[in-house]
Structure 1
Amino acid sequence: MNIQQKKKEILEAFTFRHAAKSFDPSKKISDEDFQFILETGRLSPSSVGFEPWKFLVLQNEELREKIREVSFGGQGQIPTASHLVVLLARKDARYDSKYVEYIYKNIKGFSEEAFKPIPVVYEDFQRNDFRILDNERTLIDWASKQTYLPLANMMTAAAQIGIDSCPMEGFNLDKVTRILKEADVLDDETYELSVMVAFGYRAEDPKHPQARRAIEEIVEWVM
């Protein structure tokens, strides 16, 4: 592997990526390419390995239109995107939940004996170290933060294969929640909306190049 070439390709992908305001509706992402994008989301890291997320891929045009009507930040993206993904955050990512037990026993393969100290360790982490258990909101917000890891990875992976994206927080949370509940695609006892992201092929090139602060302004070395 040529490391220098790989680094160049990765930086080119970051330079290529921009928040597309609309997509070319005639161009669709292939099933193979979109499965690749989703897989990079699935393989993303999460705090203490809880994976407190779910990805809803919304391809129903009627449902998308309802969401567009209550999304000031997705007017051009939602109707033209090849794929629209809603990232959901779990509400039950507590140390003592059945979900955490499932993750450790069924996904990670822990035995009953090996699992016993897990709730003890993570109660201390959630209650005292990060104060995640102060109230229901802090727990959900902690889980919601985790969804931004697969969000970023999916957008970067897409850019590396020439696919555009746009992350979106510009929507009314209560109204989109109600729309998804009425469509019977959201279990709001278990999940809460975190963020949306549209994928497709840009309708036009960005009018301005990326503008970012200098590396010296955002990085401080402590030796």
Structure 2
Amino acid sequence: MNKQHILDAYRFRHACKEFDPNRKIPQDDFEFILETGRLSPSSFGFEPWKFLIVQNAELRHKLLPVSWGAQKQLPTASHFVVLLSRTKADLLPGSAHIVHIMEEVQQLPAEAAKQRATRYHQFLASDFKLLDNERAMFEWATRQTYIALGNMMTAAAQIGIDSCPIEGFDKEKVEAILKKEGLLDGERLGVSCMAAFGYRVREPREKTRQSADQVVEWIV
């Protein structure tokens, strides 16, 4: 794929508000999209995310009244994703999640894991001053989740699949529904954002953006 093909995909991508309900994304295509999210970078490589793929029509219907920004997407999207971010409890240096990542995923030697944990604690306590603010820790994880979201939407666009990132929802009410369904451990995870994937029913208006000289400044 050359550079022009990549730029064409960025121009193709838009926040699709309504999808063709009769067209479904092939399983291997959606697994490809998810894989780009899974392979996305995260701070310290600690992967503070989880992706819920909501294909159940009844659950989508329950989410509809508390998701004002997804009124057309929830009923029509081929695939609907709720992106979860980890809470402070799950991101502390000695938490089960962090230990699991270092020991079982990254397979760090004991001494290397100890050094990374020390450096990570310094980062949280001093560099970004996150330890004393539970919501700030969650938002820090959410910022990383958005990296995965961006990669998934771009990957989708590169293979001709539309998407829409969604923040228009009542976070507490969405989380309450997911907890009641047994899909969310509120002590360890919270809702970051949503994303819908499928195929457009109409062409969007031409993409508008500021010019490069308005958003880029070179320091030489």
> What CA deviation, in whole Å up to 9, does each residue of 1:180-223 have, x standing for no partner?
111111111110000000000001111x2011000000001111
- 2:53 is matched with which residue? 57
Distance 1:9 1:43 in 2: 21
Residue 132 of structure 1 deviates from its aligned partner by 1.5
- 1:23 is matched with which residue? 19
- 1:209 is matched with which residue? 206
- 1:173 is matched with which residue? 171
1:104 aligned to 102, 105, 109, which one? Answer: 102
User: 2:71 is matched by which residue type in structure 1?
Assistant: Q
Distance 1:73 1:26 in 2: 21
Residue 32 of structure 1 deviates from its aligned partner by 0.4
2:43 aligned to 39, 43, 47, which one? Answer: 47
TM-score (norm. length: structure 2): 0.97
Distance 1:23 1:99 in 2: 36
Does residue 9 of structure 1 match 2:5? yes
1:163 aligned to 161, 173, 187, which one? Answer: 161
Q: Is the contact made by 1:70 and 1:176 (CA closer than 8 Å) also made in structure 2?
A: yes
Distance 2:94 2:136 in 1: 16
> What CA deviation, in whole Å up to 9, does each residue of 1:18-38 have, x standing for no partner?
001100000000000000000
Does residue 68 of structure 1 match 2:64? yes
> What CA deviation, in whole Å up to 9, does each residue of 1:36-87 have, x standing for no partner?
0000000000011110000000000010011111111111111100000000
User: 2:133 is matched by which residue type in structure 1?
Assistant: N
- 1:125 is matched with which residue? 123
Residue 95 of structure 1 deviates from its aligned partner by 2.0
Determine helix, strand or coil for the equivalent of 2:196.
Answer: strand
TM-score (norm. length: structure 1): 0.96
Residue 99 of structure 1 deviates from its aligned partner by 1.3
Distance 2:35 2:16 in 1: 22
Q: Is the contact made by 1:165 and 1:197 (CA closer than 8 Å) also made in structure 2?
A: yes
Distance 1:19 1:113 in 2: 46
Residue 106 of structure 1 deviates from its aligned partner by 0.2
Distance 2:168 2:217 in 1: 32
- 2:79 is matched with which residue? 83
Aligned length: 218
Give the share of equivalent positions with the same residue, in percent: 53
User: 1:72 is matched by which residue type in structure 2?
Assistant: W
Instruction: Give runs of ≥4 in structure 1 deviating > 3 Å.
Output: none
Q: CA RMSD in A?
A: 0.9
Distance 1:175 1:138 in 2: 20
User: 2:180 is matched by which residue type in structure 1?
Assistant: E
2:215 aligned to 209, 214, 218, which one? Answer: 218
User: 1:214 is matched by which residue type in structure 2?
Assistant: S
User: 2:195 is matched by which residue type in structure 1?
Assistant: V
Q: Is the contact made by 1:94 and 1:139 (CA closer than 8 Å) also made in structure 2?
A: no
Distance 1:210 1:217 in 2: 16
